[in-house]
Amino acid sequence: MADEENATRAPESDAQEVSGIPGDTRPDQGAASMGEHCTTDRPTPAGQTPTGEMTKFNDIDVYITKPADYPSSPSKLLLLLTGGTGVHSANNQLQADRYAEEGFLVVMPDQFAGNPAPTTTTASGPAEAHPSIIEQVKLGVANVAKAFTIDMWLARHTPEKVLPLLHSVITSVKEEFADAVANGGGIYAVGYCFGAKYVLLLASDLHKDVAAGQRAPEAQAEEGMVKQGPQIKCGVIAHGTQISAEDMAGAEVPMCVVAVEDDPLFPDHIRNEGLEAMKARKLDYEFRVYDGVPHGFAVLGDYADGGIVEKQGEAFEQMLAWLKEH
C-alpha cells in the first residue's frame, strides 16, 4: 500500500468548492454533498473525439467502447461509473476510451436515467480578489441556491434508484459480452465521484431487497433476508462522494482507492476508518492520497496547472495497473 503524501492547498482550489449549505451537516459527510467537479466538466483536451458508441440495454443509455482488436483478441469487461456529468459527457467518454485503448471492453451506463446533475457553474467572469459586502452576500445566496439544486437532484438519485438500474445493465452485459466477462473471470469496475459509492456497493454482499431498490443499504434488514454476493471481481474508486465508512467496510473484492488530501467530499476520517476496516478483514487493497490537486482531478479534462495534469496521469496509471494486476 502506498504511503499517504503530505498535502498542500491545491493551486486551483476554487475547483474544490463544495455545494453544501453553510451549517448543514450530514452523517459521515461533514457539510459537503457534491462539488464543482462532480457536476461540471473541465475543458475537453484539444483535438480528442470519443470513438465509442451509444446504445441501450433494457432502455438504459449505455456508452460502449472496445479495443481496436476486439473480438479478434480477448478482452476484459470494465464497468465505468461516472460523476454527475454522466454518460453523455465527452470527457467521460474519452476517459472510457482510454481504458479501451489499454485492452478493456468498457461499458459506461447512464446511472441517472437521462437526468445528469445540474451544472454548478455560475460565474460569468473572473472572481474579484476582494469582493464587496454586497457581492459576498450575492455569492452566499448563489451558493445556497446551488446547494439546494444539487440536493434536490441527489434526492432523485439514491441507491434505491441507481442500484436496480446498474443490476439491469450488468444482467445485459453478462449476456451481450459473455466472452469478455469470462475472459476476465468477472466484471471489473471503476467509479469516479458519484460512481465511486456504487462501485463499493457492487463490491459488497448486499441483501437482495437492497439490490432491487426496495430498501436503502443502511436500513435494517429483515431476519433471514437472502444476500446475492458481490457483482464485480475487482474495483477502483477515485475521489468518491457520499461514501460512508460502512460502504468501504462492506467491500469484499480487491479495491484501489484514489483520494485527495483534505477533501470535504471524502473526508480523511471516513477514508481512514474505511481503510482500517478493510485492513482488519485482510482485504486486498491499496490507496494513495494525492496532494496539491482538487477533488475530481482524476477525471479527464484540461487544467492550466501542469502539476495537476501530471498527477491526473499518475492516478490513471495507478488505477490501470490495479485493474491489470487483478
Output 208 or 125, whichever has higher pLDDT.
Answer: 208
Q: What is the pLDDT of residues 242-281, one digit of tens each?
A: 999 999 999 999 999 999 999 999 999 999 999 999 999 9
Domains in the chain with CATH codes: 13-325 (3.40.50.1820)
pLDDT at 35: 63
- Say whether 106 sits in a helix, a strand or coil: strand
Instruction: Quote the radius of gyration of the chain (alpha carbons, Å).
Output: 19
Round to whole Å and give the CA distance between 21 and 18.
9
Q: What is the pLDDT of residues 134-179, one digit of tens each?
A: 554 544 444 555 666 777 877 787 999 999 999 999 999 999 999 9
Name the percent of the chain lying above pLDDT 70. Answer: 79
Round to whole Å and give the CA distance between 31 and 6.
23
Contacts of 275 (CB under 8 A, 6+ apart): 248, 257, 285, 287
Round to whole Å and give the CA distance between 230 and 47.
39
Alpha-carbon distances of 160 from 97, 193, 208, 218, rounded to whole Å:
29, 18, 12, 11
Choose the weakest-confidence range: 17-26, 150-159, 178-187, 213-222.
Answer: 17-26
Output 97 or 223, whichever has higher pLDDT.
Answer: 97
pLDDT at 161: 94
**Contact (CB, 8 A) for 36 and 120:** yes
Round to whole Å and give the CA distance between 157 and 116.
10
Nearest partner of 16 among 268, 263, 314, judged by Cα: 263
Distance of CA 215 to the CA centre of its chain: 22
pLDDT at 146: 60
CB atoms inside a 10 Å sphere around CB 259: 26
Round to whole Å and give the CA distance between 90 and 41.
9
Q: What is the pLDDT of residues 55-113, one digit of tens each?
A: 999 999 999 999 999 999 999 999 999 999 999 999 999 999 999 999 999 999 999 99
Round to whole Å and give the CA distance between 210 and 102.
34
Beta-bridge partner residues of 139: none
Burial label, 269 (beta-carbon count in 10 A; 0-12, 13-18, 19+) = exposed
Q: What is the mean pLDDT of residues 24-53?
A: 69
pLDDT at 225: 82
pLDDT at 218: 86
Half-sphere exposure of 286 (CA within 13 A, CB side): 14
Would you mind telling me the total number of residues written for the chain in this entry? 326
Query: For residue 57, what is the enclosing H or E element?
Result: strand 53-57
Angle between helices 159-176 and 194-202 (to 10 degrees): 70
**Contact (CB, 8 A) for 200 and 206:** no
- Say whether 247 sits in a helix, a strand or coil: helix
Query: For residue 287, what is the enclosing H or E element?
Result: strand 285-290
User: Please, what sign has the CA dihedral across residues 14, 19, 20, 21?
Assistant: positive
pLDDT at 147: 66
Nearest partner of 84 among 237, 192, 163, judged by Cα: 192
Choose the weakest-confidence range: 26-30, 79-83, 156-160, 236-240.
Answer: 26-30
